[in-house]
């Protein structure tokens, strides 16, 4: 059985959750499609978003967790896209 390894210096989701502690969950349909994806990511990139997003399965639906350095950026993003602020780490 082959194990997956990461490259030295590669960012892990554990580091993302720790260093970008403010999480906003968006349903897959708000991010799906080229236009939606571009709009969401362009807006997030103007804020303090982490370079990686996490994913969460809830009630058989896929959600993406965007992680931000500041609570203000997370709130701005959540309000813009109707996202849900997560009180804890996504996992």
Instruction: Label residues 41-68 b or e (16+ Cβ within 10 Å = b).
Output: eeebeebbbbebbbeeeeeeeebbbbbb
pLDDT-derived band at 10 (thresholds 50, 70, 90) equals confident
Question: Domains in the chain and their CATH numbers?
Answer: 13-86 (3.30.70)
Residue 12 has pLDDT above 60, yes or no: yes
Of the pLDDT bands very low, low, confident and very high (cuts 50, 70, 90), residue 90 is very low
Distances (CA, A) of 24 to 1, 6, 55, 69: 35, 26, 11, 12
39-60 tens-digit pLDDT: 999 999 999 999 988 888 999 9
Over residues 65-82, the mean pLDDT reads 95
> What is the predicted pLDDT for the residue at 2?
53
pLDDT recorded at residue 18: 87
């Amino acid at each position: 059985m082959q194990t997956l390894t990461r490259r030295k210096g590669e960012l892990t989701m554990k580091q993302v959750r720790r260093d970008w502690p403010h999480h906003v969950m968006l349903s897959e349909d708000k991010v799906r499609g080229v236009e939606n994806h571009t709009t969401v990511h362009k807006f997030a990139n103007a804020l303090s978003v982490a370079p990686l997003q996490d994913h969460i399965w809830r009630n058989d639906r896929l959600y993406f967790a965007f992680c931000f350095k500041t609570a203000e950026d997370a709130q701005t993003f959540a309000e813009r896209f109707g996202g849900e602020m997560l009180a804890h780490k996504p996992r």
